Structure 1
Amino acid sequence: MAQQQTLSDRHLGLARRAFFEHGGAPVGKVPETILRSWVRCQRQGLAAEQAPHIEPVPAARLQEMRERHEKLWRLARAELELLSSDAAATGSIVILTDEDGWILDAEGSASFLDRAGRVALMPGACWSEAQVGTNAIGTAIVEGRSVVVHGGEHYLTPHGILSCSACPIFDPYGLPVGVLDISGDSNVQHMHALGLARLAVANIEHRYFDEGIPDAELLRLHRDPALLGTAREGLLAFRSGRLVAANQAGLQLFGLDRSELGRAPYAALFEDALGKLRDDGVLLDRQGRALYGRVDDGQARPRRPAARPPITVSAALTPQPADAPLFDPVQEADLVRACRVLDAGLSVLVQGQTGTGKEVFARELHRRCARAGKPFVAVNCAALPEGLIEAELFGYEDGAFTGARKNGNPGLLRQADGGVLFLDEIGDMPLALQPRLLRVLQERELSPLGGGKPIKLDFALVCATHREMQQAMGEGRFRPDLYYRIAHHTVHIAPLSANADRAAVVDALWQRLGQGRRLTEQARQQLADYSWPGNLRQLGACLRTLVALSEPGALVGVELLPAYLHDLRPAASRAQTPANPMLASPAASASPLEALAEAAMRQALAECDGNVSRAARKLGISRSTLYRRLGQDLHGKPH
């Protein structure tokens, strides 16, 4: 690593001489972002070898600046608190600036704060590009995106001691409001600094939406419903059918940039009407991709979805949910083995798709293990606000940070003392917090934020995730050492689509939920034939909906089934379907239901003058379903 660093420095030194001494353009020798910045600085007459005169403002003026940027300061405080401890451990500092590059706060390693102060990298100083040349803060402001500036890539030679990673912060309307930067010694590798800065900024930008967007409909969307309520959900606000505000995650869902704010129409992004999201919690975009979420109307909005609280603490022996997995012999054996592992003081990792019942498996494990009489503390790492995960897990002392509760908070790890701690969606835990969790698991003690005496811990650990953990480790999103600490024993819960006898699952769940109602054989068969991508959670919700739509003692038929089940053909008919559905003719339909469905589609198409998109919206189905069912009849029709 040192040899590679020396070689890189040598190449950078050659590039600097080519540019500064010979007037050349070292294209390919330094990143294009750096070269553009060098050219800008040279045109402004900055002398690369001279130290700039940077005079930090007096304390009173700094306080005025902080008060003027109170909202940014308030929304960013949690991220600064969380990052500062890890920054201190790696000899680096975390910096918050305003939109012009004035440093509002800097925290982290005391020794590096002192070194950074020698080049005026400190609160009250301005690090705009025009003032101090190429640097991560000022160049990120000019470029409008994340920037890394390492060592000699800084325009001014005295700044070669720094390695800086900065990410600009934007408000919901796309206006720059500040920069978050992580800076350290250029002789040390800071591999994850930019990723941590981006993650922190995503959290900050997400909080800007918590106070609402006036007179707008705010859509909270994601392709993965497990990430709703986190900083990774897409936020898009529409006013009079126009996109007026969005976070970066929301823009990325559609490949947009901030210049589209105020211009992009709703109809250009979504296939479905907004009412579809309100009614069904799902929306199709113009590419036919499903997005899950909800709509917030008005200005008073909950800060997080209330449907699934991120933290639950229960004593023991809670009743089994109605849509709990029906433990077959294989799962019973899994429970027995996992229980023995847990009782031996080892951790259990439960893996499976969303909706397969990972938490229910964990609760059943708690009911059967030696700690059944002690608390079961469940924490959804994806749903808990990322800026508060550390404080909620590890606790804090009174006055540990701005907004902390009076008398502090003991933390969830201490609430699980003697019992079982369940970390759901552990694969979504922020990378910055993984080292601290690893230390707690290794030492079985913690020190609350803000100081305090270390506290011994006693709990059994069960984790769950729908992520592919090997892939997450390979991409650097999850620490291998933490993975091997939480995965002493792994249980895989198969998706419902892999169950060869789904009819038996439907029958068993209907027995619990049906309240004496009966299913017709055709309805039962269509329920069994469907692959249920949402697994048991989706199937259970569907059956409860059928109960709500029918009278006590009724015979429930296919007419009450949701639209996505009406596309299914009986198994025998499906086996005869051509591999290319576009080649299937209307006459090949094998049931009266198929004939009625196709007739309704043709009628809707005629009433909409052949417009496929309008017909699909009228029927409440996707365009792809129309194409699949009507085949060649749609060739040449307008979209």
Structure 2
Amino acid sequence: MARTQASPGNDTLLEARRAFFEAGRSPVGQVPGGILQSWRRCRGLGLAANARPAIEPIDAPSLRAMREQHERLWRLARAEVEMLAADATSTGSIAILTDADGWILDAEGSDAFLDKAGRVALMPGACWSEARVGTNAIGTAIADGHAVEVRGAEHYAAPHRILNCAAAPIFDPYGRMVGVLDISGDAAVAQVHALGLAQLAVAHIEHRYFDEGIVDADLLRVHSNRALLGTAREGLLAFRNGRLVAANRVGLSLFGLERGDLGRAPYEALFDGAVSRLRDDGAVHDRTGRVLYGHVDEPTRTRRARAASPITVSPAVAGAEADAPLFDDAQQAELERARRVLDAGIPVLVLGETGTGKEVFSRELHRRCARAGRPFVAVNCAALPEGLIEAELFGYESGAFTGARKDGNAGLLRQAEGGVLFLDEIGDMPMALQPRLLRVLQDRELSPLGGGKPVKLDFALVCATHRHLEDAVAEGRFRADLYYRISHHTVALPPLRDATDREARVQTLWQRIGQGRRLTTAAQDTLSRYAWPGNLRQLVASLRTLAALSEPGSEIDVDALPAYLRTSLPPTAAAAAAPPADADLDAITLSSMRAAVDACGGNIAHAARRLGISRSTLYRRLGAGLRGR
């Protein structure tokens, strides 16, 4: 629920800040309750209230990679961001899209306010999580899980009092937070409808998530008001095997449900009458006797959007030569230490950015450990909806719910018997399932859904994530007891940009992929010097693309490389352009802009797109000297 109470006046708010930050008192009633709770969280994290938070935006290639990682969110939210930006331009504010961790993917609107926001690093590539910058609409909406306004001095960090912000979190059909939509403006200008606009835009985005269908599920589009069918205000509820596995906010509110009910609520508990009645009559009664109108979308058998298979079960590690692991001496030593730990029955946690080869490392660990002859069961916790992950991971007995398989389902934990269970992206496991996984790890037995005799389990556990789990624990998004259970031994895989043998890696991979094609010295040097924000996965994909687009036996030069490689700023140039370590934020911003323009060969339009700002802003900041380019 959004915060609707009025904010206190400036004098009252300043008095409340003095009471809290200087006198250590709790100004209950002087600030909204949600703001006070956020202040307490931030103080508990040791954040300074009077200093400007050290926000360092990521570089342009990393921002591009982050946007690609969140392509679906970016695509589905694009229309709403543009709509809000058009309105924001006239009101001197900006519309902001972030991912679920608070990283800003896009910011558009008033050029004048974009400049002002830039002075506090409210810009694409910066992270505005509560744990990093204190109370703010983006970070606090993530922490609380609902829409919120943070006005002026309600911000934890005093330099952020120049902002008025309103933000609403975005949830996918399975109840997982995927991002935040924010409207920010000058604190001196009242933004009366900002929160309502943000919530309305989010409703449209969340509704759009259902357009690609829900795999193997009946999608019910219902409402008590016929006029709302076909709009973002219709209720959407998807049932698989008789259980509610996905829903939008309206669908949940129609029945008084919470997101935690996804994967649990049976169809019979909500509706009085079979799904066929809605198909045939266009109407069905709920359990209170209320008439709901609508229709049913037939199940889709495959995902319309590209998606990696969330589950793989294999007896051993085998793959194409191009995918064979590349381990340097340090990683070989890490593998040996991890093997000894795993053979001792201790879980291993593999950390690393997206594309660094966490699953490749884990599969090689399985191949070398004492359980190599037993199954390797890989589960992507980020790719499975909560309703499916519970049933598939823990299994269920016959008759556990309406539509369940006649013989039940043993579950993936039992499929990993004697082998290795690999929980990829463990940081994205739904909070509701974390306590159950913890009990299984503690007791080494599980009770299938629907009852039945507890089953003893024997498997080795390897987990992996690209997230900072300690931050997730501090922000309440990951259970501390589960974190300590799986993190006895951690392995951190370095990003490809930190590798000292990038040239050798490029050569080795090209020998596998190129099939006799040759790289010129210049092309190989360009490939070796690039930072590869997508890490090894991006490098392999780029080399495969080069091979596919060239003739057998040909020589590949720089002009055949992707445009982002040909225009990327060489490391030496980047270092030369970097500002001094003690430079202020304006100097850093200006230096980054000049470097981007140089990297794009003087093309202002390309540089503005790379930086995520408008051309007019870039022109104005760099000065009249660039206008002749």
Which structure would you say has the larger Rg?
Answer: 1
Normalised TM-score (structure 2): 0.49
Normalised TM-score (structure 1): 0.49
Q: Which has the higher contact order (CA 8 A, sep 6+)?
A: 2
